[in-house]
Amino acid sequence: MYIYILCFIVSSFCIWQSEIVKSKKIKILFEVLGILIICTLAGLRSDEIGTDVGIYCKPLYEQAETSTSFRDYLSKRVTNSRIVSDYEIGFITLVFLCAKIFENFQILLFAIQLLIVVPIFKGIKIISKKENNRIWLSMLIFYCMFYNVSLNLMRQFIAIGFIFLGTANLISNENKKNIKFVICLLIGFLFHSSALMGLLIYALYKVINHSYKKVRIGNINIPLKQIATVLISITGIFLLINNNILVTILNLFDMQYYTRYIEGNVSFLTSTVFKLLPVIFLFAFSNKKELKNKNNNYYFYILLFLYSVIVDQFTSVNVFAARIAFVFAIFNIISFSEMVYSLKRNVNIKVAKTFIFIYISAYWYYYFVYEGGHETIPYKFFWN
C-alpha cells in the first residue's frame, strides 16, 4: 500500500516542480521523472495486480511469444470463448510488438501505462494554458481516483486517455481542433470500443459551448448554457429511468455488448452521496463568478460530472457499469482543481486544497484498500 502513496507523492512533487522552475530543460526533466515514476510502478508489478492482467493481458502476451507470425497470433485462443482477433487491433499489436521486440512482459505493462498517463498529462497541460488549473493537483487527483483502476481496465483507460486528450484540444480552441479530436478518438478506438463514447462528449461540448445567447423569462435573463445544461441533465435522468430506450440506442450503434451493463431495474445508490461530497463542498465555497468569467467550460464540466453520477447508478444493475461512468468521471481531475483555484483568498484556497487532499485520500483508501477494488492492493513486485 505504501509504495503507491510514495510514488503518488514523489510524482506529484516532480510535476509541481516542473510548474515553478523557469528553465525549460529542467521543466521537461521534472515532467519526465514524474511520468516515469508512476509508469515504472505499473511496469514492475506482478501479474496478480489488476484483475484483467491475468484474464487477458498475460494470456495474450504468452500467445504472442509462441506465435510464428502476426497472422498466426491472431488465430490463437486466449480463453475458451475468445481468440486473439476478438480483441482490439491496437492493443493486440502492442502486445505482439513488446513480446517479439523486448521479450519482456514488464515492458508491456510499462508501455500500457505510458499510453494512459501521457495523453492525460498532455491533456491537462493543454487545458491549464487556458484555464485556472494546476497540473500537479489534477495529476494527484488522477492518481488517487483512477490510477489503480487503470492497472486493471488497461484497454479502456488507454481509450479514456485519448478521449481526454482529444477533448482538451477542443477546449483549447486551437486550429484544427476538430481534426485532433477525431485523430485521438480513432487512436482510442483501436484500443477499446468504448472510445465511441467520445462522440457523446463531443456533442455535449458543442451544444453547451455554442449556447452564447440569453433567454428572457419574466424579468430574468437566463444564459442558454444554463438551460441547455438543465435540459441535457433531465434527458440523462429520463434515460436512466427508462433504460429500455437507452438499450435500443446502443443496439442502433451496434454496441450490444454494453447493453448488459444497463438492462434491468435501476435503483439509487447511496454511495453516490459520498462521490458528490467534493462538488457540494466546492460549489458552496468556490467563486462561481470567477469560474464563469475565466472558464467558459464551467457548465460543460458540471454536465460531465452529472452524467458520471447518472451512469454510475447502473451499477445497481451490473457492477461493471461503472466502467462507462469513468469516461465522464475522468474530467473531475480538471473540474476539482479549477474549483479550488477559483477562490480569491489564499486562505480559502488552502482550506479547499486540504479538503480535496482528505477527500481523495479517503476515496483511494476506501475503494482500493478497504474494498479491494480492481485487486491492486497489496502491491507485489513481479519478482516476488
At a CB cut-off of 8 Å and minimum separation 6, what does 247 contact?
259, 262, 263
User: Residue 211: pLDDT band by 50, 70, 90 thresholds?
Assistant: low
Q: Which residue has the higher pLDDT, 312 or 291?
A: 312
The reported pTM is 0.91
User: Residue 239: pLDDT band by 50, 70, 90 thresholds?
Assistant: confident
pLDDT at res. 312:
80
3-state SS string over the chain? CHHHHHHHHHHHHHHHHHHHCCCHHHHHHHHHHHHHHHHHHHHCECCCCCHHHHHHHHHHHHHHHHCCCHHHHHCCECCCCCEHHHCCHHHHHHHHHHHHHHCCHHHHHHHHHHHHHHHHHHHHHHHHCCCCCCHHHHHHHHHHHHHHHHCCCHHHHHHHHHHHHHHHHHHHCCCCHHHHHHHHHHHHHHHCHHHHHHHHHHHHHHHHHCCCCEEEECCEEEEHHHHHHHHHHHHHHHHHHCHHHHHHHHHHCCCHHHHHHCCCCCCCCCHHHHHHHHHHHHHHHCCHHHHHHHCCCHHHHHHHHHHHHHHHHHHHCCHHHHHHHHHHHCCHHHHHHHHHCCCCCHHHHHHHHHHHHHHHHHHHHHHHHHCCHHHCCCCCECCC
pLDDT at res. 381:
93
Q: Which residue has the higher pLDDT, 93 or 233?
A: 93
Position 144 pLDDT exceeds 90: yes
Position 191 pLDDT exceeds 70: yes
User: Residue 309: pLDDT band by 50, 70, 90 thresholds?
Assistant: confident
At a CB cut-off of 8 Å and minimum separation 6, what does 235 contact?
none
Q: Which residue has the higher pLDDT, 33 or 205?
A: 33
164-179 pLDDT, tens per residue?
999 999 888 766 678 8
Position 263 pLDDT exceeds 70: no
pLDDT at res. 96:
95
pLDDT at res. 40:
96
